[in-house]
Structure 1
Amino acid sequence: MLQTLIDAVRQQYAPDKRTVLFQVEALGHVLSGETNLPEAKAALLERLQAANIPFQDSIHVLPAPDLEGRHRALVTISVANLRTQPKHAAELATQATLGTPIQVWKKDGTWYLVQTPDEYIAWVDAGGITLLDSAGFKNWQQSPKLLYTDPYGFAYAAADGNGATVSDLVYGDVLVLEGEQAGFYKVVFPDGRTGYIPSGSGVLYEDWVARRQPTEENLVQTSRRLMGLPYLWGGTSFKGVDCSGFTKTVYFMNGLVLPRDASQQIHLGEVVDTAGGWQQLRPGDLLFFGVPAAEGKPERVVHVGMWLGEGMTFIHASGRVRISSMNPEAENYDAYERGRFLRAKRIRPQDALLDLRAASLYE
């Protein structure tokens, strides 16, 4: 009965362990483990009391006390690798670009369990972030920001593009803007380092976000900027992308934050009817692939791409970011993906986790 109630609360409050922590178990009548949802713990204890089941509460509610109030963090390197376990040999789960604000839940040695704005939970090593208390985080939020717009480049130690570098940079990195000098922006990293970025490689964040328009044309144009990027399991940046990391990056560059994985993205938006062919699809629609439900087994979503339209084509990360076709007569026809196509979804701004034009993520 005790385990049944734990499972019921987990199913209600934490059905996806990628985005919610509810690691609770019963050892006899002792409840141990941790959660980042106080309401989930409260619901469990209430149900146990209502059922007159004796228990001893040893469930820890995160953030952990040894963080000493520093529950927020900012990414301090161009691309931080977040892993499934607190070690460099662990699987790459996702990435976060410089300046991304993240929630910190606990630490394990020099590793921190964090949650990104797309709600994904994973581990990052201390070298990739700087911890902040609420006052420090508020101060950073209120500072003017610059967003880096080149696919890849550098911040320099002085206003000299031939000089020493402070850090590499990728599209979407966000830094504090301190001023301008001789064709360069002077910027401040979240950990206090300063650097200089060529003025043609960055834009005021408030100007960038105000110009985001996730139209069909813009989504297609953006997707082509990533052509040829290498496939990287867990990648969500110009250093490499997996399939859902690619679609996520395309939509981010147009102001919308999508969930991390294809199996999460498929729950967004509205279904596009493809029963009679591909005529109803519009550029920017997402195509999902995998294994349909059968014989008591649930559907498995394992791949995602984005419809381009002309020539029945779609763009996706498969080996590298490439364009394939659903037309059997086309040279780039992808029979494998056609054979495991599940359905298509149309994502509207209101369907996204965050619309950066309305959310104060970096401000």
Structure 2
Amino acid sequence: MEYGICNLSIVPLRLEPSDVSEMVSQVLLGEHFKVLEIRNKWSKIRLSFDSYEGWIDNKQFLLIPEEDYKTLDQLPLFLSNDLINFAEDQKQLLTHVLIGSNLPLYKQNTFSIGDNKFSIEGTIFTGKQAKENIVTTTLQFLNTPYLWGGKSPLGIDCSGLSQLVYKLNGYALKRDAKDQATQGEVLSFIEESEPGDLAFFDNEEGNIIHVGIMMADNYIIHAHGKVRIDRLDHLGIYNVDTKRHTHKLRVIKKII
């Protein structure tokens, strides 16, 4: 078994080992993972944070010793909370740091990836935040373009949004909406929900295909074309622009 860490700002995680394969997620700076299989140009990885698997270009990550992987697994996460920041390495080269990026071995505005040490200034989050902070965090992503497999302010999908927001507040969600729907406690009525709870939506076959974050007064914030705010009723999401329902409500879950 090999182990790796992302040493670039953001890297596509693909379904198959090919540049033209579907991007199923992304790997942010500082995220570490197990390397399940290594081929000539591609490696199959399993992320430590959510056990999500996919293929990553061999030129876009750094191999690390097993003991470093185990150390990172045991340490608390320190996460950048600025939408876009910069880190400077020892050669004074800059790297973009997107919100939600891990800062391994963080201490006094420095962090390390492999043998490279970086300095960074800005807002850093660690530990669990209050539930009231969930919506506040989500509002930072308003108008972010929808991107299948995305999980950054440059492009994000519905479950990437909920996972990233919860991660920034100290809670681990699975990557896909259908898997996130297995977490937490079921609420019987919309009226029982609180801001920060998750609402899930299904298709005609009954499969969970969408997730959004509850706000006060039956509003919901979710990624659909862009990160937007719409109304929620017992039928589902009512798009305030098109004046029609776009998603059928399946269940509301209380995670915190």
TM-score band, normalised by shorter chain: 0.7 to 0.9
Residue 7 of structure 2, aligned match among 72, 76, 79: 76
Of the candidates 126, 147, 151, which is equivalent to residue 209 of structure 1? 126
Does 2:147 align with 1:232? Answer: yes
> One-letter code of the match for 1:263?
K
Matches within 5 A, 1:282-361: 282-293=194-205, 299-310=206-217, 312-326=218-232, 331-332=240-241, 335-338=244-247, 340-348=248-256
Structure 1 residue corresponding to 2:119, chosen from 189, 196, 199: 196
| Correspondence for 1:172 among 85, 100, 111 | 100
Q: Deviations over 1:214-237 (max 9, x none)?
A: 41x111111111111111100122
1:174 is paired with a residue of what secondary structure? coil
Report the equivalent of 1:35: none
How much does 1:241 deviate? 0.8
Instruction: Give unmatched runs, 5+ long, in structure 2.
Output: none
Once residues 149 and 330 of structure 1 are traced to their aligned partners in structure 2, the CA distance between those partners, rounded to angstroms, is 29
User: TM-score w.r.t. structure 1 length?
Assistant: 0.62
Matching residue's letter, 1:91: E
Q: Scaled by the length of structure 2, what TM-score is found? A: 0.86
Residues 129-176 of structure 1 show CA distances to partners (whole Å, capped at 9, x for unaligned) of: 2112223435666899853221102123579xxxx6421111122335
Change (3 A) 1:326 1:109: same
**Residues of 1 paired with 2:139 and 2:203: CA distance?**
28
CA contact (8 A) 1:291 1:342 kept: no
Residue by residue, what CA displacement relative to the aligned partner does 1:277-300 show, whole Å, maximum 9, x if unpaired?
x3222111211112255xxxxx21
- Structure 1 window deviating more from structure 2 (108-117 vs 171-180): it is 171-180
> Does 2:28 correspond to 1:97?
yes
Amino acid in the other structure paired with 1:82: L
Q: Which residue of 1 aligns with 2:45?
A: 114
* CA–CA separation in structure 2 for the residues paired with 1:174 and 1:305: 24
Higher relative contact order (CA 8 A, sep 6+): 2
> Is contact 1:326–1:333 with CA below 8 Å preserved after alignment?
no
Name the SS for the 2:24 alignment partner. strand
Identify if the C-alpha distance between structure 1 residues 317 and 336 changes in structure 2 by more than 3 Å, giving closer, same or farther: same
The answer to which structure has the higher strand fraction is 2
Per the TM alignment, residue 202 of structure 1 is displaced from its structure 2 partner at its CA by 4.4
> Counterparts of 1:221 and 1:74 in 2: how far apart (Å)?
30
8 Å Cα contact 1:326-1:334 kept in structure 2: no
The one-letter code matched in structure 2 to 1:192 is D
Assess if the C-alpha contact under 8 Å between 2:89 and 2:116 holds in 1: no
Q: CA deviation at 1:260?
A: 0.8
Higher helix share: 1
Residues 1:307 and 1:147: Cα distance change in structure 2 (over 3 Å): closer
Given the alignment of the two structures, is residue 281 of structure 1 paired with residue 193 of structure 2, yes or no? yes
- SS of the equivalent of 1:305 reads strand
SS of the residue corresponding to residue 249 of structure 1 reads helix
The alpha-carbon distance between structure 1 residues 283 and 209, as it changes in their structure 2 partners (threshold 3 A), is same
1:193: Cα distance to partner? 3.0
Alignment coverage as a number of residue pairs:
252
Tell me which moved more, 101-110 or 130-139: 130-139
Task: Quote the Cα distance in structure 2 between the aligned partners of 1:178 and 1:259.
Answer: 24
Cα 1:326–1:148 shift into 2, 3 Å: closer
3-state secondary structure, aligned to 2:192: coil
- Deviation of the 1:186 alpha carbon: 4.3
Cα 1:250–1:130 change in 2 (3 A) is same
Q: 1:259 to 1:306 in 2, by over 3 A?
A: same
The 1:257/1:324 distance shift into structure 2, 3 A limit, reads same
Q: Deviations over 1:270-318 (max 9, x none)?
A: 22113xxx3222111211112255xxxxx211111111022x2100001
Q: How has the CA–CA distance of structure 1 residues 334 and 252 changed in structure 2, closer, same or farther, with 3 Å as cutoff?
A: farther
Identity across the alignment (%): 29
Query: For residue 67 of structure 1, what is the aligned residue in structure 2?
Result: none
**Looking at CA atoms only, which structure, 1 or 2, has the larger radius of gyration?**
1
Q: For residues 285 and 292 of structure 1, what CA distance do their matches in structure 2 show?
A: 24
Measure how far apart 1:330 and its partner are.
Answer: 8.8
CA contact (8 A) 1:114 1:124 kept: yes
Give the deviation of 1:196 after TM superposition.
Answer: 3.0
**CA shift digits 1:188-225 (9 cap, x unpaired):** 3x24334432x3x143xxxx323x2241x111111111
Letter in 2 for 1:196: S
